[in-house]
Amino acid sequence: MKAGLLSKGGNFMDELSQSAKAEFVHHVFSNIAGKYDTMNSVLSFYQHKVWRDVAMAKMAVRRGNRCLDVATGTGDWAIALADEVGDTGRVVGLDFCEEMLDVARPKVAAAGIGAYTKLMSGNAMELPFADDEFDVVTIGFALRNVPDVQVVLNEMTRVAKPGGMVVSLELSKPTWEPFRSLYYFYFYRILPKIGKLVVGDAEPYEWLPRSLITFPDRFKLAEMFQKAGLERVAHYPLTGGICALHMGYKPMVSGGDQ
């Protein structure tokens, strides 16, 4: 996948095959891995940490739980999960971008959680785990980047234990019009310029807003959670709706009524 595809304009990602989208996303994140954490903080005005704290509070992860963080990136959510499960639990952080995992590994080591936290390469579309394996399965700020959102939600549900929790924390679309217009102006016009200034390349931060164009709003995403077979699905708008937290539970009886 060559750089410069974003110059084509329009919703070109809709026209790409799943494999081509995956290759492009890999290209984007491998290029910014070393500065991903800094850029996340700058571009979200440090809100991404607040959003994760809100998610963790609502999830109420228990000591001894087994957790999977899909598309773990530089590992921040995996580390937060490990802090909760403790040394009697288990956390796996999976990502298909080795450059991002290379940033995550020293963070896990510095946190002293390496004995019960594993970072590994893997594909969110085909999770390399058995059915009913994890108490909690999360994905943070990555669902909009996957080739097929429904397939990934289905996979996350498959590997969750009966009664287990599936959670997404993701950018979303504000519903209040005055704020939405202001946010979109920042997201589409200002954000790529900040990205170019900091990392010397606007393309990764042109991709970020474009990735949201066809991504489902929080109501549609809640329906997709239900379609994956999850029940008690709840969703919460954060910071005026620019982020959304989704949570659902795998039924205790496989194939039971939703």
Can you give the residue ranges of every domain in the chain?
Answer: 11-249
Give the mean model confidence (pLDDT) for residues 220-245. Answer: 96
Dihedrals phi, psi of 116, to nearest 5 degrees = -130, 20
Give the mean model confidence (pLDDT) for residues 44-65. Answer: 93
Evaluate if residue 206 carries a pLDDT over 90: no
The predicted structure's pLDDT at residue 256: 45
Q: Which residues touch 185 (CB under 8 Å, ≥6 apart)?
A: none
The predicted structure's pLDDT at residue 182: 85
Instruction: Indicate the pLDDT class of residue 199, thresholds 50, 70 and 90.
Output: low
**Is this prediction's pTM over 0.85?**
yes
If one compares 120 and 174, the residue with the highest pLDDT of the two is 120
The predicted structure's pLDDT at residue 30: 84
3.40.50.150, 3.50.50.60, 3.40.50.1820, 2.30.30.30: which CATH number matches 11-249? 3.40.50.150
The predicted structure's pLDDT at residue 189: 81
The predicted structure's pLDDT at residue 16: 55
Evaluate if residue 40 carries a pLDDT over 90: no
Residue 207: in which H helix or E strand, if any? helix 203-213
pLDDT 10s digits, 57-113: 999 999 999 999 999 999 999 999 999 999 999 999 999 999 999 999 999 999 999
Nearest to 226 by CA among 204, 258, 195: 258
The predicted structure's pLDDT at residue 57: 97
CA separation for the pair 110, 113 (Å, rounded): 8
Instruction: Indicate the pLDDT class of residue 258, thresholds 50, 70 and 90.
Output: very low
The predicted structure's pLDDT at residue 6: 42
Evaluate if residue 15 carries a pLDDT over 90: no
Sheet bearing 66-70, strands edge to edge:
117-121, 90-95, 66-70, 134-140, 160-171, 243-249, 231-238
